[in-house]
Amino acid sequence: MRQILSGLEGVLIGQRGHLFPWVPVALGIGIGLYFLPGFEPAAEMLSLAALAGVGLLVLSRRLGVGHAPLVVAMGLMACGFALAGARAHMVAAPQLWFRYYGPIEGRVVAIDRSASDALRLTLDRVMLAQMDPARTPYRVRVSLHGEQGFLEPRPGMRVMMTGHLSAPGGAAEPGGFDFRRHAWFLKLGAVGYTRTPVLLLGPATGGQWISRARMVLSARVQAALPDETGAFAAALMTGDRSAMSQQSIEALRHSNLAHLLAISGLHMGLLAGFVFGSARIAFLLPPRARHHWPGKKIAAGIALVASAGYLALSGGNVATERAFIMVAVMLLAVIFDRRALSLRAVALAAMIVLLLRPEALLGPGFQMSFAATVALVAVFAVLRDRGTERGAPGWARPVLTLVVSSATASMATAPIAMAHFNLLSHYGLVANLVAVPVMGVLVMPMAVVAALLMPLGLEALAMWVMRLGLDWILLVARTVSGWEGSLGHIVAPGSAVLPLLALGGLTLSLWRGRGRWLGVMPLAIAATLWPLSQRPDLLIADTGALVGAMTDDGRALSRPRGAGFLAGIWLENDGAARTQEQAAALWPGGAPGNVARIELAGLRITHLQGKRAASAYTGCEDREIVVSSVDLPDLPGCEVYDPKRLRTTGTIAVWLGSAGPRIVTSRGARLWHAPPRRRQ
């Protein structure tokens, strides 16, 4: 053991000066450990973790160079665990735990579109009929269906409607994305819809002035540019995607160009780079400024202010905040004479994001953006050290940079995108090679120029040039997504695959010396485990409205319509390119009726849909699971999953084996699964 510790000490001494990028990794491990169990850590455990973390960090100052990194890593993991728990308690807000129908009143704080392409409002300062204000959700999200009259919602408006609300849905299946957890950190306590017109109770007065300015700018951009082009431009300049159609969004997603739609690191970097470059050139022109002023630092400060303005104007969502932090760290490095593009700068940005929003670690946006950034910095550092770029002809360097950066970013983010979205764009690299340069050369520079000229009413020419670039990007997205075989469907990986991919990628990128090639081992293990992932033999929706059984031909669904969101996720996770209707046709006997039955490995599953089917059911047989969309009376000897029981279990996954069925539920004893609480 002593020899092992001595050897490890020697290895860590060899990494001296290169360990700082591992700080957010250790912090992230601690955050991940908080979200891992199915129970909520007690407050005493969080306090002990915080004390232990701080104590270990203090202790590390007294240790030698070889032992200190291990103690620091353990301290950071403990601090990350406590930080995530503290954040979860800080954002605690009431959630609705029953189905509500009645008047909904609130202030509009956000406008977007749902997956069904319906306009959607997020409201705060919510009032619900006959409901204690202390138990009323802090925010609600309502989709607008039906004829909505002539009211055009704007942020800050006080509105009222009659609609349906319910608690945010949980995970579509155990281990999958948990929308209820996501809603908890957004303080979103209920979601629903209305089919009645939204009524204006009060104009947009006081507060929300940035949101109102954003919507005014969005409307002006859409008035200047027609149809989808204007909607795309508004999304890029203001973050308002409410006018984008689902067809265009899907085309961008299927061609691996969806990152051009969200205001992320690419847009923030292009804007900051254009502003920095323009200001730098402006300070180089006057001889006095060129020789006596710190033009580079002033330009970085101007770019930082412009980036902050872009953050505020775009709505300040999590992805944009993350992008701004990364750009701000790099611009501040320029101001303080540090290397802007380095792994230390990326690590510092990751630390800030995790300290502010530890829950971001679980999202694909955080994982993909930092995976791409780390890979790009690491690859270009290797190319710089080897002088590869200097050896290329001058005209070929931009082309080489574009190809290498696009290929590196695509390779770094593709496994993460496949794991989260179960899709692989086979021609995504081609689409990025022909679309991203246009975004950088035409679209973002002209967006900055148009924004500067708008107060003078002179933005027409810049908007026209911007339109050329946006039309080209949309054309590329539609063309590439329409190619035969452009999209592949990937089965969801097991829980160990993503951590192994992260470990391998980080080792290859952050470790120094030949030891970095040890990162190939976890990558190889992940690549081996992914195809071996076993999907559940049986899936039961948390409402009892849908059952999915795995057959030799794929997953058969108990209903051709209804619960479409769950059905789509189940089929995506199976890696199946079929619709709900096609999956329902795989059920024995074709399209199921109100009573759907199937047998799996000697186990009989009966799905009862509706009150009539439930009332006619008399009892179960041996080795039978009964799923009902309405509550059932007690049936002795029956394994029943009805809404009453499913409210405590959430979605259920069942694996059948020789040792008997293994049942896993999606709901645990976490804060976001607990009974509603009063507002503090």
pLDDT for the residue numbered 339: 73
pLDDT for the residue numbered 535: 92
Whether the per-residue pLDDT at 679 is higher than 60: the answer is no
- Residue 274 — very low, low, confident or very high, per pLDDT cuts 50/70/90? confident
Whether the per-residue pLDDT at 390 is higher than 60: the answer is no
Separation of alpha carbons 631 and 643, rounded Å? 6
Whether the per-residue pLDDT at 540 is higher than 90: the answer is yes
Separation of alpha carbons 654 and 651, rounded Å? 10
pLDDT for the residue numbered 395: 56
587 CB neighbour count, 10 Å cutoff: 24
Chain segment 473-532, per-residue pLDDT in tens: 999 999 999 898 888 889 999 989 999 999 999 999 988 888 889 999 999 999 999 999
Separation of alpha carbons 343 and 603, rounded Å? 54
C-beta separation of 488 from 421 below 8 A: no
Report which listed range, 56-70, 207-221, 260-274, 288-302, is most confident.
Answer: 288-302
C-beta separation of 72 from 27 below 8 A: no
Separation of alpha carbons 444 and 516, rounded Å? 37
Whether the per-residue pLDDT at 393 is higher than 70: the answer is no
Chain segment 291-330, per-residue pLDDT in tens: 778 888 899 999 999 888 888 877 666 667 777 888 888 8
Whether the per-residue pLDDT at 28 is higher than 80: the answer is yes
Residues of the chain with pLDDT > 70: what percent? 91
pLDDT for the residue numbered 293: 83
pLDDT for the residue numbered 79: 96
365 CB neighbour count, 10 Å cutoff: 20
The tokens describing 196, both together, are 């009645």
Angle at 491 between CA 666 and CA 585, to 5 degrees: 85
The mean pLDDT of 174-195, rounded to a whole number, is 92
The mean pLDDT of 336-344, rounded to a whole number, is 78
List the domains of the chain with CATH numbers. 2-90 (no CATH), 100-207 (2.40.50), 236-489 (no CATH), 497-532 (no CATH), 538-649 (no CATH)
pLDDT for the residue numbered 459: 86
Of residues 87, 121, 306, the one with CA closest to residue 208: 121
The mean pLDDT of 168-191, rounded to a whole number, is 91
Whether the per-residue pLDDT at 144 is higher than 70: the answer is yes
Helix axes 444-453, 265-284, angle to 10 degrees: 70
Rg (alpha carbons) of the chain, rounded to whole number:
27
Whether the per-residue pLDDT at 392 is higher than 60: the answer is no
Whether the per-residue pLDDT at 9 is higher than 70: the answer is no
